[in-house]
Amino acid sequence: MKTHTRVVVIGGGVVGCSVLYHLTKLGWSDVTLIERSELTSGSTWHAAGGFHTLNGDTNMAALQGYTIRLYKELEAITGMNCGLHHVGGITLADNEARFEQLKAERAKHRYMGLDTEILGPEEIHKLTDGMVNLEGILGALYDPLDGHLDPSGTTHAYAKAARMGGAEIILHNRVLETNPTKDGWEVVTEKGTITCEHLVNAGGLWAREIGAMAGVYLPLLPMAHQYLVTDDIPEIVDILKSGREFPHVMDPGGESYLRQEGRGLCIGFYEKPCEPWAVDGTPWDFGHELLNEQFDKIEDSVNFAYRRFPVLERSGVKRVIHGPFTFAPDGNPLIGPVPGLRNYWSACAVMAGFSQGGGMGLALAQWMIEGEVERDPRGFDVARFGNWTSPGYTVPKVIENYQMRFNVSYPNEERPAARPFRTTPMYEVFDGMNAVWGQQYGLEVVNYHALPGQPRFEEPSFKRSNAWEATAQEVMAVRNGVGINELQNFGKYRVTGAAARDWLNRIMAGRIPKPGRLSLTPMLAHSGKIIGDFTVTCLSETEFQLTASYGAQGWHQRWFDQHAAPGVRVDNISDTVSGFQIAGPNARTLLSRVTRADVSAEAFKFMDARRLTIGMANCLVQRVSYTADLGYEIYTDQMSVRHLWDILNEHGADLSLRPFGMRAMMSLRLDKWFGSWGREFSPDYTPAETGLDRFIQWTKPTDWIGHAAATAEKATGPKRRLTQFIVDATDADVVAWEPIWLNGTVQGYCTSGGYSHTTGQSVAMGFLPEGTITDGLQVEIEILGYRRPARVTLAPLWDDGGRMRA
């Protein structure tokens, strides 16, 4: 074994081999994979081998499509057989909500280049040769790319392609230690020590143990999964004789997936009485074993399957496969640079390895070699879970995700496991005011306050929910009086040091303000893509406060650490500093009552920042608001938050002060077409496409990150541009990803939308090709399978900014 290599990949499952291959494909040949046993040990060898493109995250769906198309390329490169069967896949809908979800997914596929279609019962009957009991079935989504393969053959094809690119693979060599060095990592194995610049944890079932060697906790858990393979079935034999194959059938209502296996069928289950496996750690001597059969936990699922697929009841069971595979708390992979560790990469929790393994290998290789990923990686970025995660959180969330894997996924759904966990000093106060809670980055956040007599639960729906009236009242409380909302769910950072301004000028594309002022600025990757939209507040020439999305903390802090500079310190103060925003026409009156300072319009201008004493609390007050109304953000330390609330609540009683939640906030921001992080602003987009280029300071002398790419796009202009729409909707508004039809073809898609309670209109934001956008342009937006008339509007829905600046 060599003593040094550029990259060490630990783990020889399908994901580790995919990472190794993609590193060579992108040009790095000095790469080594170390496997404790044989390739495919752990989960890969006993996988059912199915693959599909269906995924609610459009970037994940695209990477799954890449994975599936890659297999023929692997066969051509290596001459090996991956055992490909592109038989097509059918996902059944047995209720209206599930059918709405499938129609929404089909709509996304229109602009993703995926050739899916909605089927009716007669078409399902024909494609499945009458082998599906269609009682209660409303329809299905059909994807011709779906199919299955040989897990072992595919993994070995990845490995051979990697070897052809110069990679080395070392088997039967367990890793004992991983130690950081000045230039990378030292990997101590049974066969000796090897040093490397980059270390990839693709440990699969052992990823937790490998991570612990480096002092990191990876939130994942193996779950025991069971599927059955039948004896020969005459109906399948007849299909084969006709030169065809039986398609995949996903039956979410029955928690099962079904596919052909030889001359019989294979059926697997995501049963409710599921079993977490090796909760306290995976034994090192486990590898090519299976777990004992447990028919009792799938008894109800099997009985349902017999009703849905009557042919199964007449078939014998040839074998039972019962083995573990890993999940993250939300079911998505854990990929990318691990925050807090230099050149340590995660490639774990890829539970759908043969749907996602190729795309995840490509993403990690791009990240490592090119510094960023071609597609927005936030859905699978390991940084989406902070250092607050623990096994006590992971276990119930993984169990919940497994149990609900085939449940309908609603855009407003808040799943209950492991909650409440992280709360603020205001939790009991707002809970006593009928708060209906959401969750962001583990934190409990108020979505809205239920009205008297209403249930304290938002009904999951693709349409307008039971939160409608409460949200409307909270919106109008802001517009007509003064609303109050907690600021905990902002990410907050303190930047200090003699070189702080210079560092910010390099990290941020926009203007860095003078003392006592704040500015808005995008933060860009080297490619010019948006990786953050920030408020920068200058407290002094050596102290600044940054605010951004709370859920992006791991992402942003990692970026700051990667670009650390002498003379600058960046502290994440997201959970030590909190406070409230107050907004509405009475906001200034309220503020004037609780401080002795002059907060008149002349003394405290829009985008000013002041240190004020409010009651007994020392506060930072900023005159800015995401509600598009007159407003202030008031920050203080967590120990003073309850006192600050008491003071504001007492003095605002006669001003109609009312708490409002995130549902109201997301309606209010649409009145001024304010974009939202993760929707309008993300690493999929550039400043010129989204309008954030108006906040770039093009003339500053510092060569800020993303300068070259942004300047090049400025010269040529973007190919698409974000715009706004008023939609003729009925009972369902735009959420995100709905296609926009123009002149009979899909030419764009929505990024977000909702209902403007201020103006009484359904609205949306989305992209259209540059050159097509004119005020009043008539388009159609497809919502839940129906093309709704919509028109472009280039003016704000409400107010021209006068209220904010008054």
For residue 732, the one-letter residue type is A
Residues 552-607: tens digit of each pLDDT: 999 999 999 999 999 999 999 999 999 999 999 999 999 999 999 999 999 999 99
What backbone phi and psi angles, to 5 degrees, belong to 722?
-70, 135
Q: Is the pLDDT of residue 800 over 90?
A: no
What pLDDT was estimated at residue 146? 93
Residues 65-118: tens digit of each pLDDT: 999 999 999 999 999 999 999 999 999 999 999 999 999 999 988 888 788 999
CA distance 506 to 526: 11
Q: Is the pLDDT of residue 48 over 90?
A: no
- Poorest-confidence range of 56-60, 78-82, 141-145, 530-534? 56-60
CB contact at 8 A, 185 and 210: no
Neighbours of 566 (CB within 10 A): 8
Helix (H) or strand (E) holding 435: strand 435-440
Residues 633-647: tens digit of each pLDDT: 999 999 999 999 999
Average pLDDT over residues 256-284: 95
Domain assignment of residue 190, yes or no = yes
Taking CA atoms, 172 is separated from 8, 105, 164, 425, in Å, by 15, 44, 21, 52
CATH number at residue 777: 2.40.30.110
Taking CA atoms, 252 is separated from 185, 424, 656, in Å, by 44, 37, 48
CATH number at residue 355: 3.50.50.60
Crossing angle between the packed helical segments 641-652 and 587-594, to the nearest 10 degrees:
120
Residues 507-543: tens digit of each pLDDT: 999 999 999 999 999 999 999 999 999 999 999 999 9
CA distance 224 to 226: 7
Average pLDDT over residues 722-744: 96
CB contact at 8 A, 77 and 161: yes
Average pLDDT over residues 47-63: 88
What pLDDT was estimated at residue 112? 83
CA distance 235 to 127: 13
What pLDDT was estimated at residue 288? 83
CB contact at 8 A, 535 and 546: yes
- What band does 58 get if pLDDT is binned at 50, 70 and 90? confident
CB contact at 8 A, 732 and 462: yes
Taking CA atoms, 90 is separated from 72, 124, 268, in Å, by 22, 8, 15
Domain assignment of residue 47, yes or no = yes
Domain assignment of residue 290, yes or no = no
Average pLDDT over residues 219-243: 95
CA distance 602 to 216: 52
The pLDDT > 90 percentage for the chain reads 94
- Name the domain count of the chain: 2
CA distance 231 to 448: 54
Token pair for 182: 């000045």
Q: 74 by DSSP, 3-state: which?
A: helix
Output the CA angle 751-752-754, nearest 5 degrees.
Answer: 160
DSSP states of 626-678 as a string?
TTSSSEEEEEEEGGGHHHHHHHHHHHHGGGTEEE--HHHHHHHGGGGT---BT
Taking CA atoms, 328 is separated from 405, 444, 607, 706, in Å, by 12, 20, 41, 32
Q: End-to-end distance of the chain based on CA atoms, in angstroms?
A: 71
Token pair for 71: 């297999």
Token pair for 667: 């309606």
Q: Is the pLDDT of residue 223 over 90?
A: yes
Nearest to 725 by CA among 707, 689, 749, 757: 749
Domain assignment of residue 483, yes or no = no
Nearest to 19 by CA among 162, 150, 151: 162
- What band does 618 get if pLDDT is binned at 50, 70 and 90? very high
How many alpha carbons lie under 13 Å from residue 747 in its C-beta half-sphere?
19
Q: Which residue has the higher pLDDT, 418 or 295?
A: 418
What pLDDT was estimated at residue 106? 92
Q: Is the pLDDT of residue 230 over 90?
A: yes
Token pair for 62: 């695209």
Helix (H) or strand (E) holding 743: none
Residue appearing with tokens 């990757």:
525
493 contacts: CB under 8 Å, gap ≥ 6: 545, 546, 547, 548, 556, 557, 560, 570, 571, 572, 573, 574
CA distance 394 to 383: 15
Pairing of strands 569-572, 490-496: antiparallel
Average pLDDT over residues 362-388: 96
CB contact at 8 A, 19 and 9: yes
- What band does 392 get if pLDDT is binned at 50, 70 and 90? very high
Residues 759-773: tens digit of each pLDDT: 999 999 999 999 999
Nearest to 142 by CA among 84, 100, 94, 103: 103
What pLDDT was estimated at residue 53? 85
Range(s) of the domain holding residue 776: 719-805
Tell me which of 387, 409, 428 is where a domain ends: 387
Domain assignment of residue 255, yes or no = no
Residues 4-45: tens digit of each pLDDT: 999 999 999 999 999 999 999 999 999 999 999 999 998 988
Beta bridge partners of 258: 249, 267
Domain assignment of residue 180, yes or no = yes
What pLDDT was estimated at residue 801? 84
Q: 291 by DSSP, 3-state: which?
A: coil
What pLDDT was estimated at residue 701? 87
What pLDDT was estimated at residue 57? 86
Residues 745-762: tens digit of each pLDDT: 999 999 999 999 999 999
CA distance 610 to 622: 7
Average per-residue pLDDT for the chain: 96
Tell me which of 355, 370, 387 is where a domain ends: 387
Neighbours of 343 (CB within 10 A): 18
Taking CA atoms, 265 is separated from 301, 319, 588, in Å, by 16, 11, 69
Helices (H) and strands (E) in the chain, counts: 20, 38
Tell me which of 367, 387, 407 is where a domain ends: 387
* DSSP tag of 514: P
Domain assignment of residue 794, yes or no = yes
What pLDDT was estimated at residue 287? 82
Residues 663-692: tens digit of each pLDDT: 999 999 999 999 999 999 999 999 999 999
CA distance 533 to 509: 10
What backbone phi and psi angles, to 5 degrees, belong to 612?
-130, 155
Average pLDDT over residues 460-485: 97
Domain assignment of residue 778, yes or no = yes
409 contacts: CB under 8 Å, gap ≥ 6: 56, 101
For residue 197, the one-letter residue type is E
Q: What is the CA radius of gyration of the chain?
A: 27
What pLDDT was estimated at residue 762? 98
What pLDDT was estimated at residue 238? 94
CA distance 467 to 589: 30
What pLDDT was estimated at residue 361? 98
